[in-house]
């Protein structure tokens, strides 16, 4: 080691080395917390539920979890990636219920979608979606979650085809859009929860589209 002042160009490296060493969780007296990541995700979920996406900061997440900001930054380099993982951890899966008919399955699927679109955390999700275009990793997590949540609809369509209720399988993504579009409108534009009558009408309309599409193939 050379005595004397540290050259200017090395100051950042030295400071970073000191920060990493001081915050290293495996040092004596600072045992690793195995529950830290779950606490951070839970804190993120709580803040998403309480306020909008713009109010969510990594510093607030750290404070809510009783952690350091560096604990958050080491795990998630952007807020959008943290929110993606929080959604992945806390959003409930869709019900995979076999009611015996496609129309009834669609209605159950709509009930599950409505619970999500009526939840207090949905405003944070709407704000978060605008940032996905600039964060490929968060967008990938979101799309994978969407595929998992769409499994219930795909299974319902498969069962309907096996029963002979429909002659051919429609585009599941198109049907998902027909079902979810009115719920998005209710939340973002109308700003009121959809009525049971609206959900019945949406299920009826989607069923007619599916059966008519299958009949024309």
What pLDDT, in 10s, does the model give residues 140-189? 988 999 899 999 999 999 999 999 999 999 999 999 999 999 999 999 99
Q: Give the whole-angstrom CA distance, residue 114 versus residue 193.
A: 8
Average of per-residue pLDDT across 28-40: 72
What is the pLDDT, as a whole number, of residue 52?
A: 87
Containing 17, the helix (H) or strand (E) segment is helix 11-23
Q: Helix H segments across 78-171? A: 79-90, 102-117, 122-129, 136-149, 151-163
What is the pLDDT, as a whole number, of residue 130?
A: 87
Average of per-residue pLDDT across 56-60: 94
pTM of the model: 0.77
HSE-CB for 119 with a 13 A CA cutoff: 20
Task: Extract the tokens encoding 44.
Answer: 């993120």
Q: At what angle do helices 58-65 and 79-90 cross, to 10 degrees?
A: 50
What is the pLDDT, as a whole number, of residue 133?
A: 86
Task: Please determine, for residue 14, whether its predicted confidence score (pLDDT) is greater than 70.
Answer: no
Residues sharing a CB contact under 8 Å with residue 94, sequence separation 6 or more, in sequence order: 109, 112, 113, 149, 150, 151, 152, 153
What is the pLDDT, as a whole number, of residue 213?
A: 77
Tell me: the pLDDT tens digits for 107-152?
Answer: 999 999 999 999 999 999 999 998 888 889 999 988 999 899 999 9
- Beta strand extents in the chain (DSSP E only): none
Tell me: the pLDDT tens digits for 141-152?
Answer: 889 998 999 999
pLDDT band at 11; cut points 50, 70, 90: very low
Q: Which of 73, 76, 77, 80 is nearest to 134 (CA)?
A: 80
What is the pLDDT, as a whole number, of residue 119?
A: 93
């Amino acid at each position: 080691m050379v005595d004397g002042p540290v050259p200017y160009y090395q100051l950042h490296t030295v400071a970073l080395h000191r920060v990493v060493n001081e915050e290293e969780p495996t040092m004596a007296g600072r045992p690793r917390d195995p529950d830290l990541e779950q606490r951070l995700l839970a804190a993120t979920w709580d803040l998403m539920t309480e306020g909008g996406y713009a109010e969510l900061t990594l510093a607030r997440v750290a404070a809510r979890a009783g952690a350091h900001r560096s604990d958050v930054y080491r795990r998630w380099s952007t807020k959008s990636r943290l929110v993606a993982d929080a959604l992945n951890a806390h959003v409930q899966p869709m019900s995979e219920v076999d009611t015996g008919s496609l129309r009834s399955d669609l209605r159950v699927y709509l009930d599950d979608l409505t619970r999500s679109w009526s939840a207090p955390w949905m405003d944070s999700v709407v704000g978060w979606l605008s940032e996905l275009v600039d964060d490929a990793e968060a967008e990938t997590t979101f799309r994978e979650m969407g595929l998992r949540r769409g499994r219930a609809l795909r299974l319902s369509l498969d069962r309907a085809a096996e029963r002979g209720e429909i002659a051919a399988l429609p585009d599941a993504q198109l049907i998902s859009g027909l079902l979810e579009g009115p719920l998005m409108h209710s939340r973002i534009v109308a700003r009121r929860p959809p009525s049971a009558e609206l959900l019945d009408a949406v299920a009826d309309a989607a069923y007619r589209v599916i059966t008519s599409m299958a009949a024309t193939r």
